[in-house]
């Protein structure tokens, strides 16, 4: 049992905005009162629900490839020294699994959603996740370039496709559906991309990216998945892609969706020289469509490694940087590209990207719709989130930062005109309550009775980045895991898994299709439940 007394509590899920309240915890949940156990005197401190990362890449084939590609970064970055009971690790651009848990918990984040898992390597991803301590986890399955799925959609077999999506989610023991560059990754198998939502995809006769988007959004809704379609739009990173993004949103036909890392999808201009921010248009869409949420995918200046299933984009980035490039193909499901990258304030394109991420966070009015993310590690590393919080809370600091950008940027961005400053309540919404709700994790990001006791306690500090970077206490499931900068405990987290309904004949339907094109046995394909450490299963109720 645990009591936290006297703290100023920010709990947007329950409309509590900085009231002094006591919190009581028993068996990992909030309760109405607790008599025994430790008391943390949080007088004068700030109490938040633990952070929830709606979109990150922390486990699986791609990030693991990135680790192997960047020994030079491991050498210069933070090392977590072994203790008798705690494993060692390395932080940096692509942290090791143990370090990932330490770093997330170290800044008060207690739930993470690994946003891109091919079914074929889901077993691998779960193995890695079980080595990420402290935080709770969920995964999204890549579905928008799976050849079996695309064939079904091309043939107009919607109901079949829906069953197959459900079957895949359960086979991968995942939580929801991710679509990356719909059709574009499939086209990349031919060295091509899919840039037009209404043009047939390479290798198909009728099917277009737009069809995939419409159908997957509807499927996610009808299956009753806790999280709607999680969508990485076509034309990521390309100047002028705002039209594609808005077109994509129109293909949702009113269904809910989460638009991943929208920073990369809000550019105007016809080429790199003309590139400009088009955040006003995109924000306007969100401000008038409460059915969609997004995460910023904000960019921070400095070194990182970019990893995405968006293979064609990564090849372009490799050609632009002339540095290292990793390219993975995952049979007929998806692929992945990996390119180390440095965002520089002196680079006009990078400077625009930096601005666009912040503009979206500031222009989308409702913090329940736009969440803190860097699309780790693509726009920057997750452990730099406190820097973004500082940029959101301090307009003066933004003005200082803007001075370091090229002069030419002024007519390309709108950030200098934005005076909004996030309140603590809005930060708590954007980093915790909002993403938890978007993920359908109602017991997360919520300090209400019966919810998971994931809490972060800060000492008030004028230096916002320092305050959010160094919480005084982090409590996970009622256990103090971080105290004054020390890792006190490294409990195993839960893994959230969805069980959507599918027709019983789906196995027999899939088997011949599978045997036609896969290199492994159908029976060996689904991930066994015994492999999941501490699974928490969500049984989906279908919507008609």
Structure tokens of 535? 């699974």
When asked if residue 419 is in the footprint of another protein (CB under 8 A), the reply is: no
Exactly one of 19, 159, 253, 329 binds another protein (CB under 8 A); that residue is 329
Distance between CA atoms of 367 and 296, rounded to whole angstroms?
11
Stretch touching another protein by CB under 8 A, among 23-31, 107-115, 170-178, 317-325: 317-325
CA dihedral 424, 425, 426, 427 (to 10 degrees): 50
When asked if residue 325 is in the footprint of another protein (CB under 8 A), the reply is: yes
The 10 Å Cβ neighbour count of residue 78 is: 15
Q: Which phi and psi angles does 326 have, rounded to 5°?
A: -110, 140
When asked if residue 523 is in the footprint of another protein (CB under 8 A), the reply is: yes
Distance between CA atoms of 533 and 63, rounded to whole angstroms?
20
The 10 Å Cβ neighbour count of residue 503 is: 15
When asked if residue 421 is in the footprint of another protein (CB under 8 A), the reply is: no
When asked if residue 18 is in the footprint of another protein (CB under 8 A), the reply is: no
When asked if residue 320 is in the footprint of another protein (CB under 8 A), the reply is: no
The 10 Å Cβ neighbour count of residue 419 is: 9
Question: Hey, which residues between 37 and 66 contact another protein (CB under 8 A)?
Answer: 59, 61, 64
Nearest residue to 390 (alpha-carbon basis) of 301, 468, 279: 468
Is the separation of the CB atoms in 477 and 453 below 8 Å?
Answer: yes
Question: CB of 475: closest distance to another protein in angstroms?
Answer: 26
The 10 Å Cβ neighbour count of residue 399 is: 12
Is the separation of the CB atoms in 540 and 224 below 8 Å?
Answer: yes
Stretch touching another protein by CB under 8 A, among 300-308, 432-440, 477-485, 520-528: 520-528
Exactly one of 109, 188, 371, 425 binds another protein (CB under 8 A); that residue is 188
Exactly one of 10, 48, 98, 343 binds another protein (CB under 8 A); that residue is 98
Question: CB of 88: closest distance to another protein in angstroms?
Answer: 4
Stretch touching another protein by CB under 8 A, among 188-196, 224-232, 367-375, 459-467: 188-196
Question: Hey, which residues between 101 and 140 contact another protein (CB under 8 A)?
Answer: 120-121, 123-124, 127-128, 131
Question: CB of 58: closest distance to another protein in angstroms?
Answer: 10
When asked if residue 343 is in the footprint of another protein (CB under 8 A), the reply is: no
Question: Hey, which residues between 241 and 260 contact another protein (CB under 8 A)?
Answer: none
Is the separation of the CB atoms in 455 and 49 below 8 Å?
Answer: yes
When asked if residue 87 is in the footprint of another protein (CB under 8 A), the reply is: yes
Exactly one of 19, 20, 41, 83 binds another protein (CB under 8 A); that residue is 83
Question: CB of 132: closest distance to another protein in angstroms?
Answer: 9
Question: CB of 516: closest distance to another protein in angstroms?
Answer: 7
Question: Hey, which residues between 202 and 221 contact another protein (CB under 8 A)?
Answer: 203
3-state per-residue secondary structure call for 378-432: CCCCHHHHHHHHHHHHCHHHHHHHHCCCCHHHHHHCCHHHCCCCCCHHHHHHHHH
Per DSSP, the three-state class of 445 is coil
Per DSSP, the three-state class of 8 is strand
**DSSP assignments along 234-262, one per residue:** SSTT-TTTHHHHHHHHHTTTT--EEETTG
Q: What Cα–Cα distance (Å) separates residue 172 from each residue in 127, 175, 200, 489, 533?
A: 12, 9, 29, 30, 14
Question: CB of 517: closest distance to another protein in angstroms?
Answer: 6
Structure tokens of 315? 């090849």
Distance between CA atoms of 534 and 494, rounded to whole angstroms?
5
DSSP-derived letter for residue 533 is: S
Distance between CA atoms of 162 and 314, rounded to whole angstroms?
30
When asked if residue 79 is in the footprint of another protein (CB under 8 A), the reply is: yes
Distance between CA atoms of 240 and 379, rounded to whole angstroms?
19
Stretch touching another protein by CB under 8 A, among 40-48, 241-249, 468-476, 523-531: 523-531
Stretch touching another protein by CB under 8 A, among 13-21, 23-31, 399-407, 513-521: 513-521
Using the minimum distance from each CB to another protein, give the nearer residue, 170 or 188. 188
Query: Residue 142: which H helix or E strand, with range?
Result: strand 136-142
When asked if residue 29 is in the footprint of another protein (CB under 8 A), the reply is: no
Question: CB of 530: closest distance to another protein in angstroms?
Answer: 10
Question: CB of 275: closest distance to another protein in angstroms?
Answer: 24
Nearest residue to 139 (alpha-carbon basis) of 532, 542, 540: 532
Question: CB of 124: closest distance to another protein in angstroms?
Answer: 5
When asked if residue 88 is in the footprint of another protein (CB under 8 A), the reply is: yes
Exactly one of 20, 37, 68, 400 binds another protein (CB under 8 A); that residue is 68
When asked if residue 449 is in the footprint of another protein (CB under 8 A), the reply is: no
Stated length of the chain: 544
Residues touching another protein: how many (CB under 8 A)?
57
Residues of this chain that interact with another protein (CB under 8 A) are 59, 61, 64, 67-76, 79-84, 87-90, 94-98, 120-121, 123-124, 127-128, 131, 147, 151, 188-191, 203, 315, 318-319, 323, 325, 327, 329, 516-517, 519-521, 523-524, 528
């Amino acid at each position: 049992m645990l009591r936290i007394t006297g703290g100023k509590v920010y709990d947007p899920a329950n409309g509590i905005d900085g009231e002094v309240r006591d919190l009581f915890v028993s068996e990992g949940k909030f309760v109405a009162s607790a008599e025994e156990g430790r008391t943390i005197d949080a007088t004068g401190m700030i109490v938040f629900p633990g952070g929830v990362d709606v979109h990150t890449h922390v486990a699986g084939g791609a990030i693991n490839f990135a680790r192997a590609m960047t020994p030079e970064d491991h050498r210069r970055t933070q090392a977590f020294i072994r203790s008798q009971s705690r494993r060692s690790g390395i932080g940096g651009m692509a942290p090791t699994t143990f370090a990932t848990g330490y770093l997330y918990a170290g800044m008060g984040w207690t739930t993470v959603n690994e946003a891109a898992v091919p079914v074929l390597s889901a077993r691998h991803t779960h193995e890695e996740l079980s080595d990420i301590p402290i935080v709770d986890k969920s995964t999204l399955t890549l579905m928008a370039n799976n050849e079996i799925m695309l064939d079904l959609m091309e043939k107009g077999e919607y109901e079949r496709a829906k069953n197959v999506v459900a079957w895949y989610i359960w086979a991968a023991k995942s939580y929801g559906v991710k679509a990356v560059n719909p059709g574009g990754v499939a086209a990349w198998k031919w060295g091509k991309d899919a840039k037009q939502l209404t043009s047939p995809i390479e290798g198909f006769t009728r099917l277009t990216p737009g069809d995939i988007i419409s159908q997957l959004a509807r499927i996610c809704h009808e299956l009753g998945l806790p999280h709607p379609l999680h969508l990485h739009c076509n034309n990521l990173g390309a100047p002028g892609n705002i039209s594609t993004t808005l077109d994509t949103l129109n293909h949702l036909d009113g269904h809910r969706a989460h638009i991943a890392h929208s920073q990369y999808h809000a550019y105007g201009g016809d080429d790199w020289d003309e590139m400009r921010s088009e955040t006003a248009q995109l924000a306007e869409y969100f401000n008038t469509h409460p059915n969609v949420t997004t995460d910023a995918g904000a960019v921070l200046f400095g070194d990182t490694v970019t990893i995405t299933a968006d293979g064609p984009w990564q090849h372009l980035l490799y050609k632009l940087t002339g540095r290292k490039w990793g390219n993975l193909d995952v049979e007929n499901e998806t692929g992945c590209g990996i390119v180390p990258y440095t965002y520089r304030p002196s680079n006009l394109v990078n400077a625009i990207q930096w601005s666009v991420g912040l503009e979206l966070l500031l222009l989308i009015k409702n913090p329940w719709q736009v969440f803190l993310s860097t699309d780790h590690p693509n726009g920057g590393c997750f452990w730099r989130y406190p820097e973004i919080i500082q940029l959101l809370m301090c307009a003066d600091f933004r003005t200082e930062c803007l001075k370091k950008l090229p002069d030419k940027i002024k007519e390309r961005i709108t950030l200098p005109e934005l005076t909004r400053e996030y309140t603590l309540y809005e930060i708590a919404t954007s980093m915790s309550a909002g993403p938890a709700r978007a993920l359908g994790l109602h017991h997360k990001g919520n300090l209400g009775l019966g919810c998971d006791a994931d809490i972060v306690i800060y000492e008030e500090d004028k230096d916002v980045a320092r305050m959010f970077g160094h919480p005084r206490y982090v409590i996970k499931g009622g256990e103090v895991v971080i105290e004054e900068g020390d890792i006190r405990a490294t409990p195993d987290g839960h893994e959230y898994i969805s069980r959507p309904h599918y027709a019983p004949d789906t196995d027999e339907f899939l088997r011949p299709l599978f045997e036609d094109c896969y290199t492994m046995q159908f029976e060996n394909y689904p991930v066994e439940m015994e492999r999941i450490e501490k699974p928490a299963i969500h049984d989906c109720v279908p919507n008609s």
